[in-house]
Amino acid sequence: MSKRYTVAILYCLIGIVSGCAQMKETSLPRALPPPEGKSQIVFVRPDWTTNSAVVFDVTAGKPEFIGFLPGVTRVAYVTEPGEHTFMVTSEAADFMKAELAPNKTYYSIAYSRFGLIQERYSLLPVCKVRSCDFTSPSKEFDVLLKESTLVENTEGSRADAADDMDGFIALQQSYWPKWQRKSPAGKLERTLLSEDGH
């Protein structure tokens, strides 16, 4: 394991432990519709594990922090319509593309799996008009939304993410080339399409 990769893991472990405690529960049972002309994506973490998933918008290159996702939570992100790339990190990084239409809300699952030290995550699209691991509307997905808690950032969570940004960038640089080598079919499996919006 390279020194750079080891440092990246240590940075992110610090951020994950402190950041998850800084997110706060909202008073809303569901995310509100996006403002007129905007798009929204809700990232859902359906399971309990020891570490948080950390989600970013990396469309412009440098990671833009969206939120920490501790167990059984979700966070809503409002952005401009169009093509986006999102990243989720823990001890590794993974990515998802999205084609977002205005005035629509989209959903993605932060799916966990075993890693070397802690869980790793992937962002899976929740599809509306095609066959995917998660679809909406569906009874299974409705249960995930009902059981998860909508959380939002605080000054503390934003500060934690900023403090650990060097580590997140190192993970992005290490794992983005691997994602780019996926086949067209593999990339499509990790892409939210405009028609998946609600």
Q: Find the domain containing 25 and state its range.
A: 3-196
Query: What CATH code is carried by the domain that includes residue 151?
Result: 2.60.40.2890
pLDDT at 116: 65
Cα(141)–Cα(30) distance, integer angstroms = 13
Residues 1, 51, 149, 85, Cα dihedral to 10°: -10
Q: Which two structure tokens, joined as six digits, stand for 169? A: 């960038």
pLDDT per 10-residue tile (average), the chain, 198 residues: 39 43 84 95 87 94 95 95 96 96 97 75 93 91 91 93 94 96 95 96
Nearest to 125 by CA among 29, 178, 193, 64: 193
pLDDT at 115: 62
Q: How many domains does the chain have?
A: 1
pLDDT at 117: 64
pTM (two decimals): 0.88
CB burial of residue 159 (10 Å; 0-12, 13-18, 19+): middle
pLDDT at 86: 98
Instruction: HSE, CB side, 13 Å, CA atoms: give it for residue 188.
Output: 6
Nearest to 55 by CA among 157, 124, 123: 123
pLDDT at 179: 95
